[in-house]
Amino acid sequence: MPQYTPDQRVQNDDWSDLTSRHPLPEIDFDKLHRYRLQRLKNELRKADAACCVLVNPVSLRYAVDYRTYGLFQSHIPTTYLFVPQQGPVVLYGAYGTAPGVDRVETGHAISYFDGGAELPAAATALAGDMRNYLAELGTDNRRVALEYVNPSLTLALQNAGLEVIDGVAISEHARVIKSEEEIACMRWAIKVAEHGITQVQETIKPGVSELQLWALLNYTNVANDGDWHDGRMLASGPRINPWLQEASARKLEPGDLVGFDTDMIGPFGYFADISRTMHCGPTAPTKRQRSLYQLAVAEIEHNLQLVKPGVTLKEFQQRAWPIPEEFQQNAYTCLCHAVGMCDEYPRINPVHRGPTPYDDTIQAGMVLCIESYIGAVGERDGVKLEQQVLVTDNGYELLSTHPLDEKLQQ
């Protein structure tokens, strides 16, 4: 490989920009923003809440396309949003503005980093802003939905005579059904993720580290204006079992299985959640490796056939592929979950882990990820696979199209 200085390495990058190979999708962003905001307002009406206070960076992106400092916002929130059933959408404590906002105002501290011992006083001031805001709306509804935030704010709102309900339920249920524009955004995010997967596949060889492979996925995402990955889920050899071990400096050896899960918040803020397991040559896969892989494929293919409108989460769980007992302890945390701008409601647990904590029905317009991890306790190898699908009127459409490893299916 040629030796480049850092500026030359970027200058000679002729592969990462996906727009050089495929045109960006045509997306009506005004229509996209109107749809998402209306979904939130519809959920507020269902909950009979006057407004919601959104803090989660994914919710801020969904509601008004506010993107700034998302990871920072996730652990030191500085920005929050008032979204009403009817009336102006107001953004507080923002760095700049966002397309779906009617006005931006100075905010109060909502994190210990900013407020410290003054957090209760800041919460009281925010509650006063909320009372004034409800008066501006001309409503006598005193029910307010609040996303996860410090307890002092909940207490301050209650002390101001307001009823506080769970805002996470509002935002999660709003995001369940995707519009055509959202699906177009997601298709592009998946293209970017699979472009990165191709780079990983072509780079798998003895001596390459897990971190180097993971960096290819991350670089591809950022180079195409994506955001971040929720984890660094890539493991090889003895680290692939059990699953959920993040990438390390370990270098690949001949015969290793290499598994990864993109967990990628990509371009336009949409999620590409694809898992693949690949074999590192030059040796051929073992009989056990092929057997594990074929079992994971069988689980995915069986459970894909359950994806159709009208199937309840409970029915899906009960009719899912029966995980053999030797693989149950290390099985993946869920059989299936929804995605949009991140992992989203709902999820379905394996039956051996007990009931799913809610029931609902699969609907057209949902996007689901079908999961499998097959690896026995005490063994070296394991296989992680995951497919992302759009629920259609008659079943599903496979959105993740990167091929499975042929060597492991023989």
Spans of all domains in the chain: 29-174, 180-409
Q: How remote is the C-alpha of 352 from its chain's centroid?
A: 25
CATH code 3.90.78.10 for 29-174 = no
Cβ count near 201 (within 10 Å) = 17
Global pTM reads 0.95
- 228 in Cβ contact with 209 (< 8 Å): no
| Cβ burial 91-111 (10 Å sphere, 16+ → b, else e) | bbbbeeebebbeebeebbbbb
**pLDDT for the residue 347:** 96
**CA dihedral of 98, 103, 105, 111, whole degrees rounded to 10:** -40
Q: Would you give per-residue pLDDT tens digits along the chain (410 residues)?
A: 455 555 666 778 889 999 999 999 999 999 999 999 999 999 999 999 999 999 999 999 999 999 999 999 999 999 999 999 999 999 999 998 899 899 999 999 999 999 999 999 999 999 999 999 999 999 999 999 999 999 999 999 999 999 999 999 999 999 999 999 999 999 999 999 999 999 999 999 999 999 999 999 999 999 999 999 999 999 999 999 999 999 999 999 999 999 999 999 999 999 999 999 999 999 999 999 999 999 999 999 999 999 999 999 999 999 999 999 999 999 999 999 999 999 999 999 999 999 988 889 999 999 999 999 999 999 999 999 999 999 999 999 999 999 999 999 87
What was the pLDDT predicted at 264?
98
The answer to whether domain 29-174 and domain 180-409 are alike in fold is: no
The pLDDT of residue 8: 65
C-beta separation of 369 from 408 below 8 A: no
The verdict on whether omega for the bond into residue 309 sits within 30 degrees of 0, i.e. cis, is: no
pLDDT at res. 283: 93
**Residue 21: is it exposed, middle or buried by C-beta count within 10 angstroms (0-12/13-18/19+)?**
exposed
**CATH top-level class of 180-409:** alpha beta
Interior CA angle at 370 toward 368 and 371, to 5°? 135
CA dihedral 172, 176, 179, 184 (to 10 degrees): 90
Query: In terms of C-beta density within 10 A (0-12 exposed, 13-18 middle, 19 or more buried), how is residue 291 classed?
Result: middle
Q: What is the pLDDT of residue 22?
A: 93
Decide: residue 69, CB within 10 A, 0-12 exposed, 13-18 middle, 19+ buried: middle
Under 8 Å between Cβ of 190 and 22: no
Residue 270 corresponds to which tokens in the numbers above? 């949409």
